[in-house]
Structure 1
Amino acid sequence: LADPGGICISDTVWKQLAGKSSVAFEDIGERELKNMAQPVRVFRWGEATVAAAHAMPLPLPEKPSIAVLPFDNLSGQPEETYFSDGITEDIITGLARFHSLFVIARNSSFAFRGKPIDVAEIGRRLGVSYLLEGSVRRAGERVRISAQLVEAAAGAHVWAERYDRSLGDVFAVQDEVAQVIVSTLVGRIENASLKRSAQTPTDNLTAYDCLLRGIAHFRGYAADDNQKACEMFERAVELDPQYAVAHAYLASVRVAMCGYASAPAEVLAASRALGMHAVELDAQESRCHRLLSNIYLYSRDHDAAEHHLRRSIDLNPNDADSLIQMGYLLVLRGRPDALGWMEAAIRLNPFHPTWYNANLGVAFYSLRRYAEAAQAFRRLLDPWQWSRARLAACYAQLGQETEAQEQAAKVMRLNPAFSINEYFRTSILLEREEDREHLREGLIKAGLPK
């Protein structure tokens, strides 16, 4: 199936590459393959794909722009990578709080891990002027963090520093690195903002370690990842009862373990209370507000969800996850400005995680742009009945009856008890009746049972 000089891979291989490769593969749909009983979804890479990717560099923002590449783990223990990743992410979070900077999201920065690509090309692909590189070496109770700021286009080193500290000082190092970068890029902007937040994440490094391990599991797709994440977050809260972000993640993972929007009312109520406790512990931590917003949305309280999400964005305007979630929430509320928020999120996170596509699919369907909606849903790594049903509705609205029926059949194989009424009761968060009827119409056209 591959073009001369090109490569085709199956969806199984493509899923394994998710978040590990910056190579752009094009989804060319399902194909019948020799000796395979079922069609296989195929992704293609070739000179045409590469040429297209290189032909359209992202424009530079007006504000000073930076991407923080994943810091190298020099501890000699590959399993310690979660620690160097956590340091990197906290520096990204620290930088993102400054309104005067444009900061690329973690997922897009991490797409270049271990790739033999020069800094000029990385800057070109991400559309930024500066890159921060570094390494972390952890040994016993000591940590060495090295960081260097590079001007992407010229490859010139603007600033470099090395920090030898005790593990207890790791948060001070993160703040110091963020402060120096801001001062270097934009001068002495908002000097008051350069001071450390009065809220220290935690004084308990073991709790911090548990949080990082939990987040790594929470982002995974293994069957037991949510359970392992929950155990880590519970341990972090036990070690440091004042650790706001750990409480917020614990509230969120408990809802995830029970089916998100289909979680029982008592689970949602308990998680809302825990999420509010996290906000009370640190009202200036944007992630606490963002995670609480999700729980309110799953509870069908759209007003409270929007309140906390806007607060999250006020605190951290460069958090791409908050921006994509705002776009999704506004779609659910029938607001016309929703797509603009999503476009801003993708600019900050051009190599975004695949779950962004579900939000985009919902938005495009609401806008009657069914072909784009179908394309977005097809990009999902492991579509379950929630997205399969919506994809079937897209095809039905496009008049592609065969494809709609194929997706509807897959929904029924995944859940033989599926019905449109139950789907709406447990999973659909659209606020306006006309939007709910628009989706119901597509599902009925696809042949799904009422």
Structure 2
Amino acid sequence: MTERITRKLTTILAADAEQFSTAMTADEVGTFTELQAARDVFFKLISRHGGRVANTAGDGLIADFPSVVEAVQCAIEVQQELAAKDTALSFRIGVHLGDVICDGEDLIGEGVNLAARLQTMAEPGGVLISQQVYDHVKNKLTIGFEYLGDRRPRNMPEDIPVYRIALGAPRRSKTAQVWQDPDPFSDAPTRVFDGAPPQAGPSSGRRARALFARNCDGRQRPLSFGRAGATLALIAAGLFIVDISTGRGFWSHWVLLVVAAQYGLRNADLLFGRSEILSLPVKLWVIAAFLLCINLFSWSGYAWSMWPIGALVIASLARRISSQPE
């Protein structure tokens, strides 16, 4: 009697270390230690986002998630934490939503293969996602997406739309820089999300990454504090001039505080380059700073802001604890 095949629809995250064999040749013990440290980061964040590690063959890793959003958020946080730790190894990550065959604890099938192919096409330290994943997360995550065009993954029968998540410049493995891999999308057309036509050419992708990450609704997302600081400085100067000219008491700092808080909440993840600081969401820090500034600007001898800030911190920690898989 033929055994029944078990299938499921899931989000697959495939990761692999860049030039691992070369790194092992250069420093076997050091590279293995770095691999173990990187795996600890993967395991921690996969568990935090409700995922499960299905396979860890060699220097690669396959995980699956019931939530597409959590899978993408996990991939982003992994790359951000590895970059923050400045690890010697860098990883490529591909994420795809597809049908897979369950082989015990392992997963096999076209869905896994496509996630793995996306991984091989990603830059070191980067994340590529399929159209299916993009359709689920485009309105749920405040991050930049870059459409790289229809590409044909190796050993696949047809082209697929590929999207890159804006995470900054590629980060190559320190112990494996014997040669430089070419950018697999250096000649890909870059599509922006404001209706502008695609621009072809080797510099278009680099130019788009260097200037702005564009969200799916066409809004420009700055990648550093420099442009944001300059904009806020101009607003502050204009408000200060109006404030002084009217001579009706000093009020411009309130307007500037609201503008800065709004900007910080909308762009927190990109401005800080991560979604958490000291295990607390970046947006919570923005809200805490906003409340503290209100307290200071209206100071009457009592630090009342500590109560709402403390409540927010406790609520955030409680939510994290309750969401941990058992």
TM-score normalised over the length of structure 2 = 0.32
Would you tell me which structure has more strand in proportion to its own residues? 2
TM-score normalised over the length of structure 1 = 0.25
Q: Which has the higher contact order (CA 8 A, sep 6+)?
A: 2
Would you tell me which structure has more helix in proportion to its own residues? 1
